Structure 1
Amino acid sequence: MHARTDIEHTPGDARPRRRALHLLTATGAMTLALAFGGQAVAQADEWNPGDRGSTGQWGGGWDGNRGDAQPAPEAAPAPAPAPAPAPAPAPAPAPAPAPAPAPAPAPAPAPAPAPAATGEQAYKDYALAALGGDTTQFGCLEQLWERESSWNPNAQNPTSTAYGIAQFLDSTWASTGIAKTSDPYRQIDAGLIYIENRYGSACAAWAHFQANNWY
């Protein structure tokens, strides 16, 4: 229903005023519809089918707190920060190098070898070694062959075939298994074989020579 106004309007002003009035009326109607619609939704939330009677009417009451907003859940606590890694242990110090050993003293120079014997002495040294270093037996042998040839490997008896240091006849050479030779060392080998086989020792051969002037 529109209120009457005493203000006179000209025919040209009536249309815009009617449009404004219609707009206000529509806005008010929408506001009322929204208000009643929200109440109906809230009442529907509280309705429990078990509360309905035989007539099917809603028998519950209105809970004004149902429309209140629920509190937001508490935020989960932030995880504790991971502990900082322990620092790496410092490397062990390198061991101090062992002191270098003092250089060994240079060895004393070896004595110069004695000059090798030559001639008669070399033959005698060889004979002593062949007798196993027995100086007693060598003493007898030395005197025996000194009398026979003076230790001369080239000594030759002018009246027989006796030859060399031991003054063997050709037949005596054959009994030793060594052929007649001018090699002084082979002559000594043959002479020692003969003495061992016939007399058993150089001193026994020397004793026979002293008694008979031959051996």
Structure 2
Amino acid sequence: MSARHTALPAAPATETPAPESAADTVAAVASGRHRRPPARRPALYLAAVAVGAVLVNVALGTGPGTAQAEPSAAASQAVSVADQLGLTAADASPADLGTHLGELESSRAQREADEATAAQAQAAADQAELDAQAAAAAAQAAAEAQAAAQAQAAAEAAAAAEAAAAQTPSNFHDYALAALGGDASQFSCLENLWGKESGWNPNAQNPSSTAYGIAQFLNSTWALTGIAKTSDGFRQIDAGLIYIDRVYGSPCSAWAHSQANNWY
């Protein structure tokens, strides 16, 4: 706003009296004609100052209109907050604002509680999934271990069956003859001796004693051979030939003792 300047009304022109001489002044006083200078009018000056102040306030925009604008801005801000809370201008009282703010706070607390509950449920579901995966992995590992054990058992059974199939009297005879260096006469005595004792059966068991196998060794007899008791017919032949050699010197001597005493 541009400043407006109002000219003050001009004071009435007065004639300036000519200076008086000292003699004239004394004469005037003596005759009673001397006048005092006209008195100034301070009220007029005060009015002019007031008008000027009003004009300055209008020019600077700090008059009463500005003072009224500030409450209007505050009212606009209050109405804006009320609009955000869904209140009308008539409802935007401090009490209503406080009530709605409390409702918003309660709603936010409930939302945060719901989010926390959902997060806990999700964490529990994730943990359950991990547990299920771990259980499945453990079950698979156990199944694989069981399958491996069954395969190992089957392989061992097959090997045992093959070994059992190889342990026949004819094979035992060939093995024993080879162990005697091909001596047919000594093998003939041995064939008669063990044929009488077990029939060359590696699993023969005396029902009244611990005598076992082709050579029908007692448990104490096995210790003399250095070979542990076994169901392997070939190892039984090895143990039997060691015993005969140490005690009788030859199969024919052992067979002669058996014929005379019914044991060897």
TM-score by length of 1: 0.46
Q: Highest CA radius of gyration, 1 or 2? A: 1
TM-score by length of 2: 0.37
- The structure richer in helix per residue is 2
